[in-house]
């Protein structure tokens, strides 16, 4: 099996969006079959692919995927998480992380939505201290 090739910008621009204190990138991977590495039956989250590049028809930062993510945040804001898929394996040219951070304002348009998405939900899922 070929090794993934990281695709990221070495010097991303600083995002314009100010993130709430304690904001977290919750992206993670579980390698192996689900039968061997099952999700906990008592889980309140089911990990999903947070990779707009997989559904977008536009180049990074994949703005045409924002309405889909915005709908998920609006409908499941108390259970939604956000991850970047950094270092964006096998893209060739990676996105600018500053652009991806700024896209959060379209996905979670209120401070309250961003607080849940980036701080409160990851804190509850992973047991981070307040």
State which residues form the domain around 67.
52-126
Q: What is the pLDDT of residue 46?
A: 56
Domain count, the chain: 1
Residue in the block written with tokens 């692919």: 49
49 has pLDDT over 50 = no
* pLDDT tens readout for residues 62-87: 889 889 889 889 988 888 888 877 77
Do the domain assignments include residue 81?
Answer: yes
64 is catalytic: no
Global pTM value:
0.72
Closest to 63 in 3D by CA, of 103, 116, 119: 103
DSSP 38: P
14 has pLDDT over 60 = yes
Identify the helix (H) or strand (E) that includes residue 49: none
Do the domain assignments include residue 31?
Answer: no
Residue in 25, 50, 64, 85 annotated catalytic: 85
Q: What is the pLDDT of residue 120?
A: 93
Do the domain assignments include residue 85?
Answer: yes
Q: What is the pLDDT of residue 44?
A: 65
Do the domain assignments include residue 20?
Answer: no
């Amino acid at each position: 099996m070929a090794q993934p090739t990281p695709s990221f910008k070495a010097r991303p621009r600083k995002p314009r969006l100010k993130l709430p204190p304690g904001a977290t990138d919750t992206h993670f991977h579980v390698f192996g079959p689900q039968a061997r590495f099952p999700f906990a039956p008592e889980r309140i989250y089911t990990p999903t692919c947070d990779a707009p590049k997989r559904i977008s028809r536009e180049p990074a930062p994949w703005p045409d995927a924002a309405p889909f993510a915005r709908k998920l945040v609006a409908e499941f804001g108390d259970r939604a998480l956000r991850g970047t898929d950094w270092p964006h394996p096998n893209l060739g040219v990676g996105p600018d992380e500053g652009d991806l951070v700024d896209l959060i304002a379209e996905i979670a348009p209120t401070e309250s939505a961003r607080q849940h998405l980036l701080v409160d939900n990851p804190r509850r899922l992973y047991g981070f201290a307040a």
